[in-house]
Amino acid sequence: MAPPKTYSSISAFHSKLLGAKRILAVCGAGLSASSGLPTFRGKGGMWRNHEAMSLATLDAFERDPGLVWMFYGYRRHMALTVKPNAAHYALAELARKVPGFMCLTQNVDNLHIRASHPPSQLKLLHGSLFSIKCTRCSFLQPSNADDPFCPALAPASLPPPPNQPHPILDPNTPLPSVPAQDLPHCPKCQIGLQRPGVVWFGEQLDHQMLEDIDKWIEAEKVDLVLVIGTSGVVWPAAGFSEQARTKGETSVVVVNMELEEGGRNNRPEKEDFGFEGDAAVLLPRLLEPIIGRMVVEEEGEVRWVGGRS
């Protein structure tokens, strides 16, 4: 494999990293790309013949909850099928080594959690595919990994034929229409339809979580912000690095497959360090002076050697 392209010096970044007490990460879909999950903008942005983002709205759910649930049933299934990659593990280890590290993620795939990221140092900005919310009384089931989520969504959870894409992705394969009465209803109020516990376009992020993030950023100078695998066009995530900079001298490092195009967070000329390539390759290397090197045991267990004690 060709070495990752970078435009900054890794050793200069390492000096910054070693002096950093408070570190913030803002992560996006590119972090999970090498696990096998598609990103939103770019070629992974279609689901069948629908723009993936057009299905992530309350309007779409109200119009056709069966279709939207099928989309989310498929995303749940895929997220359960893939594994966290070295970048998720590297961030989890950074959290254990640096108490002043906070990771904000836009990803709803639960891969940070499956990589054992300490929960107190992780904020799920856009919720989780595996939490379930009532559309009527907002009762929240924090963790549900049933696959399929209910019998009517079974087509989304079928294993694809070997070496072929999942049949549900082919717009020419008919999709059974799922009426609302075949979808799960709230176990508490018994009336409301359940929906994925993710934040859809046009919805507010959890108020308390945003307040906690503001408090964390405002508490003291943030030495380093890592902006990883995000196009940086969705707010409020896109604004956290600039917010951190207002507290004093903050270095911002962007890790992205494509540095030159896109939104504000992946334009290297606005940042202090930019590293172009796969986050799963780059992050373990960038964080190595603190986390050491990752060793994967035969049973798939991950351990770290040679990190900062």
Which residues are annotated as part of the binding site for Zn(2+)?
134, 137, 186, 189
Q: CA 29, CA 41: separation in Å to the nearest integer? A: 9
Angle between helices 86-97 and 279-291 (to 10 degrees): 20
Distances in Å between the Cα of 39 and the Cα atoms of 28, 45, 113, 165, 257 are 8, 7, 19, 16, 12
User: Does the annotation count 126 as an active-site position?
Assistant: yes
Q: CA 257, CA 281: separation in Å to the nearest integer? A: 11
Task: Note whether 226 binds ligand APR by CB under 6 A.
Answer: no
Write down the least CB distance from residue 34 to ligand APR, Å.
Answer: 5
* Residues in contact with ligand APR, shown as a per-residue x/- string from 22 to 41 under the rule CB under 6 A: ------xxx--xx----xxx
Nearer to ligand APR, 132 or 152 (CB): 132
Nearer to ligand APR, 106 or 194 (CB): 106
Task: Note whether 268 binds ligand APR by CB under 6 A.
Answer: no
Both tokens assigned to 293? 């090197």
In one-letter notation, the amino acid at residue 120 is S
Task: Note whether 105 binds ligand APR by CB under 6 A.
Answer: no
Q: CA 101, CA 94: separation in Å to the nearest integer? A: 7
Q: Which of 88, 112, 126, 166 is catalytic?
A: 126
Task: Note whether 112 binds ligand APR by CB under 6 A.
Answer: no
Beta bridge partners of 305: 293
Q: With CA atoms as reference, report the closest residue to 53 among 40, 37, 63.
A: 40
Residues forming the active site: 126
Residues that bind ligand APR (CB under 6 A): 28-30, 33-34, 39-42, 53, 106, 126, 229-231, 234, 256-258, 262, 266, 278-279
